[in-house]
Amino acid sequence: MSLWKKIGLGVVAALAVLFLVPGGWKFLLVLLAVTVFGVFLWWQWFQDSSPPNRDPAPPHGSRWDDRTERWR
């Protein structure tokens, strides 16, 4: 089954819950909030797991000075 078919079935199921189940909008709202919070937590973990860029690239045409241990 393709991704678009799965998304379509999910939308149809959500609409069915919304219109056929009394109070279904509350369930969908909670489901949406949990999904958004999960994506937020994943994004925070993803940013924290990437290595920080503490050593910027030297300017173009510069060379390392052993005396001062800096780029010139």
Quick count: other Cβ atoms within 10 Å of Cβ 31?
12
What's the DSSP call for residue 69? T
Q: In tens digits, what is the pLDDT along the chain, a chain of 72 residues?
A: 899 999 999 999 999 988 998 988 898 999 899 999 999 999 988 887 766 666 677 777 778 877 887 777
- Asked if residue 28 lies in contact with residue 17, where contact means CB atoms within 8 angstroms, the answer is yes
